[in-house]
Amino acid sequence: MINNFHFILASKSPRRNNLLKQIGLDFSIIPSDIYEDFNLELPPEAFTEHWARQKAKEIGKKNHDSLVIGADTIVVLDKKILGKPKNKDDSFRMLKSLSGRRHEVITGVSFFWGKNNIDITINERTFVYIKALTDNDIYNYINTYKPLDKAGSYGIQDGFSIHIQRIDGCYFNVMGLPISSFYKILQSIIT
């Protein structure tokens, strides 16, 4: 049944797009243009759920007959949310703060289908341990991979992988979509 089902991904993330293609799903992409206000005072889990749901609802209201998936991924260090860096200096600052430390990656995922009264939102957390980075490591990474479109200023799937000591939790969650949890809920909705 899932292979014959079509839905909308409310995200322009190439990583989410690739993950869904990797598991053989048929979907359209209609990115949400919701502005994420990082001054919103919510705990990190609620923050990701809030923005994932807002993205899904925005697209879902215009596509009442479709199941819309919204997602939001953040990096959390010392209870502070790190979003996407504003520029190279911000990227350097973020990566320097993560150096030699453990941080959390939390992704909120929302399923919104107006026609069928589906409104489900979850979050998943993964702990990521980064080795100590030199300034040269950081500059080389930024200049080579240009991570300004990534929460926390790194991609676990790209050249930054050499700096990951270990993770506790879902690897795909760090990429932007906890595939196993996502698929379990998707199955429950459409079967």
Rounded CA separation 156/160 (Å)? 6
- In sequence order, the 6+-apart residues with CB closer than 8 A to the CB of 50 are 40, 42, 72, 108
Residues in the chain: 191
- Residue 119's DSSP bridge partners are 112
Sign of CA dihedral 79, 126, 19, 109: negative
- Active-site residue, 158 included: no
Catalytic-role residue among 26, 65, 72, 158: 72
The residues annotated as belonging to the active site are: 72
